[in-house]
Chain A
């Protein structure tokens, strides 16, 4: 095990502090694993649950709570598709662009979504309601095209039923 005292090396951004709820959940997550580092992805998800995204200031704070290097947290926090490092809207639309959906009408749905929302993939609507992102195969290939809003998968999606799906997310 490392003997380096990462805590003294990690610069804390003074403006950032976990809320009481975050703190409690983070401690619980760490408790789930034998090695605190293993809780890192769970901790990033907890921060994101409360703030919608993981701001830069959270990185040293997370590093300190797990006793690992800031660089390691930054490395992990920039590696995974579902950890957001820029602000996102109230709802994240993850549109599957993998091959089965591509064969069954991804292009039409993509164009329709971009037109309805007035944004390109990777952007957020001006009213902060939706962020549109691509996602790899959602595992509902027999009912493509598919998209996931927050944690709910919708399929098959067509330009025709898109409006009704979006209405469920005010």
Chain B
């Protein structure tokens, strides 16, 4: 599937664009192992396995201050450090979370379809660093092209002796398997993902214990996002200081980030930029602004479960802490722009319908609350809302908020709703019917 990557950007090198330089220089996918090896492929793997101890790699990743690119932004090195090490640790698992289904997000698909070897190299290094002998790529079932290309690449790596038993004569062995899912948004939640991998309903598990201690089949399990893992080879080759410098002083966070734009912008796509690049640069310079005749009404920084932000927030750095301080979350970092011709009530209804459908049904507030919210939003959309609906919706944002539900699904769903009610209350008020059967006669509000 053709995606615009780094459109309009100047020359790219491994030093500046560690995730996408191969794709940009090759002007297309790098699928064949020979092609990948001609472009610095598996050099980091050799260095890691032959010259470094697992503890050195873990320390380097910790020093790099890499934060999880799946949306939560948890420091990867710290996540890894929770995995028990040493001869008594027993069977452990590494899982790549490739269940990309966050609305508006298409970065992991692009990485896997076009650079499958990059992810495989990253996973072998990570498995070595964590001393796990079994790894899975949990891929969403709809990503058929990615599955085919990853499986093809895994076959090539096995033949090349870089995957399997006694890799490069180091004594380290790894089995890597692609597991394709059957479609459910909640599988992206790491404990739900583990249940799904085990062949169960994808209901999240209670934390703690964290998966690093008690994960798949009761064994220590580390789950990382595709984009997060793809940064590992670069960090091995060029070091933690180089990685920190990639943000070019735009953010205390380190590295580059795959940012994206979707919605009715002038041009949509994906750009690898220093983390902390402003939303304005992303939208106005790279995406060329909004499509002709359209104005920006609001935007979602990174998926359906992030709060809306306004045009006045465009100068914020797109990093975890800055967007958090502004009252939203960076999430996946692929912004969705909503133009002034859209009905914000309809947009929110669309987001909540998605969330209601994808609720796993485990806990009551989420299972019952989300469909009820959709019902009320649909009434407001038709102009048949009742007096008090807005206050009721505001109340629901608290009842489905953090601490009231089993996992983060419903609280995430409340983020766009609460921010839309805050910024666009008038649009919701317009949906309240002037005369309603429940009003006392002659008392139309």
Contacts and interface: CB of A to CB of B under 8 A. Distances in A.
A82 interface: yes
Contact of B201 (A66, A79, A98): A79
Contacts of B142: 82, 94, 135, 138-139, 148, 153
A142 B3 contact: yes
A99 B347 CA distance: 7
B264 A104 contact: yes
Interface in B152-186: 177, 181-185
A52 to B, nearest CB: 15
B246 to A, nearest CB: 24
Interface string A85-96: 000000000100
A35 interface: yes
B122 to A, nearest CB: 20
Interface string B267-289: 01110000000000000000000
Interface in A26-43: 32, 34-35, 37-41
Contacts of B44: none
A104 B291 CA distance: 11
B100 A139 contact: yes
Interface stretch (B104-112, B207-215, B247-255, B373-381): B104-112
A72 interface: yes
A125 B105 CA distance: 32
A139 to B, nearest CB: 4
B183 A135 contact: yes
B199 A39 contact: yes
Nearest to B100: A139
Contacts of A134: 357
Interface residues of A, number: 44
A80 B263 contact: no
Given A37-B199, A98-B354, A99-B347, A141 B103 contact: yes
Contacts of A41: 181-182, 196, 199
Interface string A127-154: 0000000111111111110001001110
A142 B270 contact: yes
Contact of B336 (A72, A103, A135, A153): A103
Contacts of B181: 41, 80
A103 B338 contact: yes
B223 to A, nearest CB: 16
A104 B103 CA distance: 13
Nearest to B184: A80
A59 interface: no
Contacts of B183: 80-82, 135-136
A44 interface: yes
A76 B4 contact: no
Contacts of B144: 151-152
Nearest to A104: B264
Interface residues of B, number: 56
Given A139-B105, A140-B1, A100 B200 contact: no
Contact of A99 (B196, B350, B360): B350
B32 interface: no
Given A142-B269, A142-B270, A100 B104 contact: yes
A54 B405 CA distance: 32
Given A99-B103, A100-B336, A143 B268 contact: yes
Given A32-B177, A103-B347, A142-B269, A98 B197 contact: no
Contacts of A94: 142
Nearest to B261: A142
A38 B219 CA distance: 15
A45 B357 CA distance: 22
Contacts of B262: 100, 103-104, 141-142, 144
Contacts of A170: none
Residue from B201, B351, B357 whose CB has the most chain A CB atoms within 10 Å: B201
Contact of B342 (A80, A103, A136): A103
Given A44-B182, A82-B183, A103-B347, A98 B198 contact: no
A94 B141 CA distance: 13
Interface in B134-162: 140-144
A136 B199 contact: no
B321 interface: no
B101 interface: yes
B198 A136 contact: no
Interface of A: 32, 34-35, 37-41, 44-45, 66, 68, 72, 75-76, 79-83, 94, 97-100, 102-104, 134-144, 148, 151-153, 155
Given A136-B354, A136-B358, 15 more contacts: A37-B200, A72-B200, A79-B360, A82-B183, A83-B182, A99-B300, A100-B262, A100-B263, A103-B339, A136-B103, A140-B1, A142-B270, A143-B3, A143-B268, A153-B142
22 contacts: A35-B199, A35-B217, A45-B182, A79-B360, A80-B181, A82-B142, A83-B182, A97-B354, A99-B304, A99-B350, A100-B104, A100-B336, A104-B264, A134-B357, A139-B101, A139-B142, A140-B1, A140-B3, A141-B268, A141-B334, A141-B336, A142-B268
Interface of B: 1-4, 100-106, 108-109, 140-144, 177, 181-185, 196-202, 217, 260-264, 268-270, 300, 304, 334, 336, 338-339, 342, 346-347, 350-351, 353-354, 357-358, 360
Across the A-B interface, give the 4 residue pairs with the lowest CB-CB distance, nearest first: A80-B182, A81-B183, A40-B199, A141-B262
